[in-house]
Amino acid sequence: MQGASRDALARLRDVLVQSVGTATDSAALQRLSEDLFAVVTLFAGQASLRRAVSDPALETDAKVGLVDRLLSGKVGDPALGLVRQAARSRWSQPRDVVDAIEAVAVEAALSQAEHDDQLDEVEDQIFRFERIISAEPDLRTALTDRNLPLDRKRQLLQRLLDGKVSTVTLALVERAVLSPRGRTLERVLDEFLRLAAQRRSRVVARVTTAVPLTDDQQTRLAAALGREFGGDVRLQVVVDPSLLGGLTVRVGDELLDASVARQLDTAHRKLTGRF
């Protein structure tokens, strides 16, 4: 997001914090998240609507009035207040308002998980689901098939995850699968994981290793990465024997490759004169 949209998202998050603070129970947070996701679906499906809500040429009162006519009585007051704030804000481009409402919808769901002392569990479950679809191409193909009806995808997810993950995890995975909005499934899941880590002011390090790491090795690696990147680091470990040995670490867009496979490839390039 550009400057104006980043500022608008920050203000939305401030309103979300107030809404979360007044939520009486887990069910209220779940309702807030579901309402906001419904708004994302509405705005994502109607280009003229998201343009109107984000149009700087329109009077703020007119945009808020439009939101009220569309949503009053259809979503709860906390969600309505957040969308009103979105209408009052300036956005760099229409898509940003949809992205921002989706972000606070995810954060509302994560607030529910935090309220239920399940935030770490939700992170781990989303990560494990991402690894499952990476290892099962047929499953990924089915879940990303645009010709497969949404009800069929939902049923497939229910059979796969119901009773095995938290309600928040299931809701977020369903959202990633059923409403990717032009993004890959992996990209959506990674964004949800980034938001979960952000709630704890943590850095997420995706570690790929040739053999499983012991608890002590993981602790020492997390400490070393914490010194390198600053702050608490949460490891997401993937075992990939094709590395032959060593490991790779990805933090955001930065890749640290200390694998044997990389070293062999470098040596081969030097021997053959291909640098």
36-53 pLDDT, tens digit per residue, is: 999 999 999 999 999 999
Residue 49 contacts residue 71 (beta carbons within 8 Å)? no
Interatomic CA distance for residues 61 and 78, integer angstroms: 19
**Distance (Å) of CA 21 to CA 57, 82, 209:** 34, 14, 41
CB 251 within 8 A of CB 222: no
Same domain, 105 and 125: no
In terms of domains, do 184 and 227 share one?
no
pLDDT at residue 74 in the model: 95
130 and 106 belong to one structural domain: no
Same domain, 108 and 3: yes
pLDDT mean across residues, the chain = 87
Same domain, 211 and 165: no
Task: Please count the structural domains in the chain.
Answer: 3
pLDDT of residue 267: 45
Instruction: Give 95-150 pLDDT, tens digit per residue.
Output: 999 999 999 999 999 999 989 989 889 999 998 999 899 889 999 999 999 999 99
pTM of the model: 0.76
- Domain of 245, CATH number, reads 3.40.30
One domain for residues 125 and 173? yes
Same domain, 183 and 212: no
* Complete DSSP assignment for 226-269: HHHH-SEEEEEEEE-GGG-SEEEEEETTEEEEEEHHHHHHHHHH
Domain boundary residue among 92, 115, 138?
Answer: 115
Final residue in a domain of this structure, among 198, 226, 260: 198
Q: Are residues 190 and 212 in the same domain?
A: no
On whether both 67 and 1 belong to a single domain, the answer is: yes
Q: Are residues 7 and 106 in the same domain?
A: yes
Statement: residue 264 has pLDDT above 70: no
Q: Which of 90, 115, 140 is the last residue of a domain?
A: 115
Residues 71, 84 within the same domain: yes
Expressed as residue numbers, the domain containing 148 is 117-198
Based on the fold, state whether residues 191 and 87 are members of the same structural domain. no
